[in-house]
Structure 1
Amino acid sequence: MTALPDWMRPPRAEGWYAEDLDHLPEAPRHTELIDGALVFMMSPQRSWHGRLVTALTTALMAQAPTGFEVEREMTIRLDARNRPEPDLLLTDLPYDPDRTWYAPEDVKLVVEAVSPESAHRDRTVKLRKYAEAGIPHYWRIEDEDGAPAVHVYELDEPTATHVPVGIFRGSLHRPVPFEINLNLDKLTPSRSG
């Protein structure tokens, strides 16, 4: 068994902190921090996932009113020991080319496209953590035989939990965080070609 590289060893007994991610240039792309532990995307990304996220980014950018920005694969510093990296996020902060993370109060929508290795985190852990941080909207996108099914949640502030508002197939219409109309069938190519 080979020894772990030095950069994989936590700098302190209690693990990693959010600011440590900015000082790990050797870490693989898409490294997240969940409860003080580094989480790497170890399996190869599926083509379905990449195409879906690209098409959704483009669609949301085309519909976003002035003052909103769509970001891909940027971390959110939820607290000192949690810095997840959603597939997409929507913010009302202006573009900053040097930004490496967002604060939860600046994030209006988080989107996670579920992959086999992230399913548990996306369905339970991140759902809870994003709500506890006060992020108002969370979309979880599942692959249903090649077609996207979007599970939409909104924050119930008194309980600090995300509550389901619907599962969308074929099309999605939402009035928040801004008027959004999506043809979900066009976000991924059909399996029949």
Structure 2
Amino acid sequence: MTGSPIPDWLVPPPEGFFAEDLDHLPDLPAHTELIDGSLVFVSPQKDFHSVIIDVLVAALRRCAPRGLRVRREMSVVLGPRQRPEPDIVILRAGVPSGPDITAYRAEDVLLVIEVVSPDSETRDRERKPQLYAAAGIRHFWRVEQNVGRATVYVYELDPAVGSYSPMGIHHDKLRLTVPFEMDVDLTEIDGL
């Protein structure tokens, strides 16, 4: 019995991988991220993760002003060795788009949203917010499951210190005026 050949990307180069490498590595698993030059493979999503993304994407598309775009599960190039894949991004107008786009630039992103999974807790709570803030992304939300319900932690970049400041914790309703006015019913997850 012959096994399948081992892909070259299982052994990283001495300097690690670079953002553009993700577009050229053959047979890379879907949703692979690049954090600090290392490939990060994600576990299968749980139902909560998928459903809360659906709820937020639909609500954000309804609320977002003209000229902003909502995308799910698209990577963002933050630097030469940083290319995470947030669960949701809100992009500014005029960003190149089309079927061949595989990543967006940090300067085109207004908001990133991460839905925390058991295997991504440290990355989503600590490392990714550091990277997003360092890249100048103004708004960051972290969504966590709390007894089957969604809790949304909202942060805004404080440019004086280069890190995020907490702006609120939301449970059943997400009412905000920044980065734009919205009123999102987080309990919609119960009906899906």
What's the TM-score bracket when you normalise by the shorter of the two chains? over 0.9
- Residue in 1 aligned with 2:180? 178
Offset at 1:93? 3.3
- Residue in 1 aligned with 2:103? 101
Per-residue CA deviations over 1:16-57 (Å, capped at 9, x if unaligned) read 00000111241110000000000001x221011101101111
5+ long unaligned stretches in structure 2? none
**SS state at 2:152 partner:** strand
In 2, the alpha carbon distance for the partners of 1:68 and 1:8 equals: 37
In 2, the alpha carbon distance for the partners of 1:175 and 1:93 equals: 19
- Residue in 2 aligned with 1:56? 56
- Residue in 2 aligned with 1:39? 40
Instruction: Tell me the amino acid that sits aligned with residue 39 of structure 1.
Output: V
Offset at 1:146? 0.6
In 2, the alpha carbon distance for the partners of 1:4 and 1:159 equals: 44
Percent of paired sites with the same residue: 47
Report 1:27-176 matches (<5 A): 27-41=28-42, 43-94=43-94, 96-97=97-98, 98-176=100-178
Instruction: Tell me the amino acid that sits aligned with residue 82 of structure 1.
Output: Q
Residues 18 and 83, structure 1, Cα contact 8 Å, conserved in 2: yes
Residues 68 and 93, structure 1, Cα contact 8 Å, conserved in 2: yes
- Residue in 1 aligned with 2:23? 22
Instruction: Tell me the amino acid that sits aligned with residue 110 of structure 1.
Output: V
Offset at 1:128? 0.9
**RMSD, aligned CA:** 1.8
In 2, the alpha carbon distance for the partners of 1:4 and 1:144 equals: 40
In 2, the alpha carbon distance for the partners of 1:99 and 1:5 equals: 24
Give TM-score scaled by structure 1 length: 0.92
5+ long unaligned stretches in structure 1? none
In 2, the alpha carbon distance for the partners of 1:82 and 1:3 equals: 28
Residues 114 and 140, structure 1, Cα contact 8 Å, conserved in 2: yes
In 2, the alpha carbon distance for the partners of 1:8 and 1:93 equals: 37
Per-residue CA deviations over 1:148-181 (Å, capped at 9, x if unaligned) read 0000000000111001111101101111111111
Offset at 1:131? 0.6
**SS state at 1:118 partner:** helix
Residues 112 and 141, structure 2, Cα contact 8 Å, conserved in 1: yes
